[in-house]
């Protein structure tokens, strides 16, 4: 992975009708899409709250985030971070689904 890399972090709330099966399906599809577009990251879920970190080429990540903002399964989408990075922190993760506490622990030790 090379070029103009960014890290974008956001939080959102899932709609009440979104099930665990929906999330599993979403993560599987996202993993394929992200791999094809050199996007890595992590998705942390705590109840109906989501925190996701996306890393990769700026144009690809920005395009993906735009589609996330329009996804009816999310509401109250708030971008927390959008910054240039020298290298990705989640390159070997693909798109992993983690518990919120795991993501916080990773951030603290990185």
The residue with greater pLDDT, 31 or 18, is: 18
The residue with greater pLDDT, 93 or 80, is: 80
At 54 the pLDDT is 93
List 56's β-bridge partners, or say none. Answer: 6
Q: How far apart are the first and last CA of the chain?
A: 20
Alpha-carbon distance of 9 to 73, in angstroms, equals 18
Enter the pTM of the model. Answer: 0.84
91: tokens are 């390159």
Query: Which element (helix H / strand E) includes 36?
Result: helix 20-36
Segments making up each domain of the chain, as ranges: 5-109
At 38 the pLDDT is 92
94-99 average pLDDT score = 61
- pLDDT band of 99, cuts 50, 70, 90: low
Please identify which residue in the block is written with the tokens 């070029």. Answer: 3
CATH 3.40.50.1240, applies to 5-109: no
* Phi, psi for residue 47 in degrees, rounded to 5: 65, -120
13-20 average pLDDT score = 93
Q: What is the pLDDT of residues 35-80, one digit of tens each?
A: 899 998 888 888 899 889 999 999 999 999 999 999 999 999 999 9
């Amino acid at each position: 992975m090379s070029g103009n890399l960014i890290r974008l972090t956001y939080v959102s709330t899932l709609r009440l009708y979104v099930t665990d099966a929906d999330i599993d399906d979403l993560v599987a599809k996202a993993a394929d899409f992200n791999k094809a577009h050199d996007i890595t990251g992590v998705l942390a879920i705590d109840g109906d709250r989501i925190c996701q970190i996306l890393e990769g080429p700026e144009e690809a990540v920005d395009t993906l985030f735009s589609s996330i903002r329009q996804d009816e399964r999310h509401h109250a989408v708030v971008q927390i971070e959008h910054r240039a990075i020298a290298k990705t922190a989640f390159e070997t993760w693909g798109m992993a689904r983690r518990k919120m506490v795991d993501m916080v622990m990773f951030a603290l030790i990185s």
